[in-house]
Amino acid sequence: MNATPLSEIAESLWDDALALAQQQLGPPLVSILSPLYWPHLVSAVLMAALVIVWERNHGRAYTWASLKSTLRAWVHPSALTDYTYWFVNGIVYSMAVVPLLPDDAPLRDAVVSQLYKTFGERSSQEQTGTLTVTLLALAIFVAYDFGRFVGHFLQHKVPFLWEFHKVHHTARVLNPFTTFRMHPVDLAVMAVCTSLSVAGMAGFILYLFPGDESLWGALSLRVALAFFVFDLLGSTLRHTSVWLSYGPILGRIFISPAQHQVHHSADPKHFGKNMGFVLAIWDWAARTLYLTGKHETLTYGAGDGDDDAYRGPLRIYGMPLIRAAQRVYQTCRKGMGKLRAAVRGTSIPPVAPRSGTDG
Ligand SMILES: [Zn+2]
Ligand SMILES: [Zn+2]
């Protein structure tokens, strides 16, 4: 058997890399699933204009200085890191991490077979009604959103995972490319949490509606439509400084751009608030909801003065790995110390010398 020449392997890898780069660079404007799809950008600009007009009419001054600082934010070193990292990680994540992600099919099948065992077989239907399909699509959307909340909650509460999630919080200015400022490990954690949640719900649906071959196509279409509407309604503004708040009532149900901006605040009183993606009800239930009203001036960052250490793709990849390894080392050392202390505590105590009678 002839070995493949190295030049051919290199060429094919380069072709793959180029194709992936094209996917990352092309879809932002033309892919309906990208947060940077052109109608989302157009709607974001229109909504930003409306917010500015509304704020001006309510006494907020917009001067040349504020316009200049907005323009400066687009060329801030933190923003330049966002642009380069978006391009580099588009290739690295797709090539190195996506192939390693676990398949969610075994969990889905396990849910179906467990339900069969517990409740018995269900008679199969040919066609599912439109209203039922819409409600099922909503259930999948809610399951996905719940998985995202759980993933985000863990990323903030588990110190080891925080080291990777911190990358997203070290952005000192926000722009739509900050959405992609996430370490591959962070992205993988989120992918696993959401796919577990969706696979659980999908297994439940497969059990309830067996036999309808067209169901999954119809569900996918509706879920994609739900994300399209979500992006169209201003989700792009989350990673900008445009203060679009939903107020105290709607803000308890949906996370507004302003609420996500609070999530990026370097002020300790905002740490760990508003971890929801679309729905705010999870934060409400977990008591991590921070409602927004009037414009708040925020400083963005992780809050420990360490943001500039995460400048450039190499540091974004490397710093979390070093810091996470340090945490593991420290935890092991502490654990060993406690173990040693416990062993010493359970050993036979030295016998105190008797006084008086022996001498
Ligand atoms: Zn976060
Ligand atoms: Zn964010």
- Condensed to tens digits (0 to 9), the pLDDT of residues 248-276 reads 999 999 999 999 999 999 999 999 999 99
Residue 352 placed within a domain: no
Tens of pLDDT along the chain (359 residues) come to 444 455 555 555 555 555 555 454 445 565 666 777 788 888 888 988 898 888 888 877 777 777 788 888 899 999 999 999 998 988 888 777 777 777 777 888 888 888 888 888 777 666 777 888 889 999 999 999 999 999 999 999 999 999 999 999 999 999 999 999 999 999 999 989 998 999 899 888 888 887 777 787 888 888 888 888 887 788 889 999 999 999 999 999 999 999 999 999 999 999 999 999 999 999 999 999 999 998 899 999 999 999 999 999 999 999 999 999 999 999 999 899 888 888 887 655 555 544 444 44
Please give the distance, rounded to the nearest whole angstrom, from the Cα atom of residue 196 to the centre of ligand 2: 22
Nearest bound ligand to the CA of residue 186: 1
Residue 8 placed within a domain: no
CA dist list (Å): 140 to 46, 106, 204, 219, 315: 30, 18, 10, 8, 36
Please give the distance, rounded to the nearest whole angstrom, from the Cα atom of residue 95 to the centre of ligand 1: 25
Q: Domain count of the chain?
A: 1
Please give the distance, rounded to the nearest whole angstrom, from the Cα atom of residue 277 to the centre of ligand 2: 9
Residue pair 174/261 in contact by the 8 Å Cβ criterion: yes
Please give the distance, rounded to the nearest whole angstrom, from the Cα atom of residue 320 to the centre of ligand 1: 15
Residue 33 and residue 108: Cα distance in Å, rounded? 24
Nearest bound ligand to the CA of residue 190: 1
Those residues with Cβ within 8 angstroms of residue 224's Cβ, 6 or more apart along the chain or in another chain: 32, 33
Residue 156 and residue 260: Cα distance in Å, rounded? 14
Please give the distance, rounded to the nearest whole angstrom, from the Cα atom of residue 107 to the centre of ligand 2: 29
Six-digit token pair at 258? 């302003």
Q: Residue 254 in 3-state DSSP? A: strand
Residue pair 197/147 in contact by the 8 Å Cβ criterion: yes
Neighbours of 299 (CB within 10 A): 10
Residue 343 placed within a domain: no
Residue 153 placed within a domain: yes
Residue 170 and residue 186: Cα distance in Å, rounded? 14
Say which residue the tokens 């890399």 belong to.
17
Dihedral (C-alpha) 235, 191, 221, 47: value to the nearest 10 degrees? 0
Residue 115 and residue 205: Cα distance in Å, rounded? 11
Nearest bound ligand to the CA of residue 165: 1
Nearest bound ligand to the CA of residue 302: 1
Provide the residue count of the chain. Answer: 359
Residue 141 placed within a domain: yes
Say which residue the tokens 């963005």 belong to.
300
Query: CA neighbours within 13 Å on the CB side: how many for 182?
Result: 18
* Side chain identity at residue 3, one-letter code: A
Residue 347 placed within a domain: no
Residue 329 and residue 163: Cα distance in Å, rounded? 14
Nearest bound ligand to the CA of residue 255: 2
State which residues form the domain around 320. Answer: 19-327
Residue 228 placed within a domain: yes
Residue pair 258/273 in contact by the 8 Å Cβ criterion: no
Please give the distance, rounded to the nearest whole angstrom, from the Cα atom of residue 59 to the centre of ligand 1: 32
Residue pair 254/238 in contact by the 8 Å Cβ criterion: no
Residue pair 82/179 in contact by the 8 Å Cβ criterion: no
Residue 194 and residue 202: Cα distance in Å, rounded? 12
CA dist list (Å): 124 to 121, 128, 203: 9, 10, 15
Residue 323 and residue 309: Cα distance in Å, rounded? 12
- Model confidence over 271-322: pLDDT tens digits? 999 999 999 999 999 999 999 998 899 999 999 999 999 999 999 999 999 9
Residue 344 placed within a domain: no
Please give the distance, rounded to the nearest whole angstrom, from the Cα atom of residue 159 to the centre of ligand 1: 13
Residue pair 298/261 in contact by the 8 Å Cβ criterion: yes
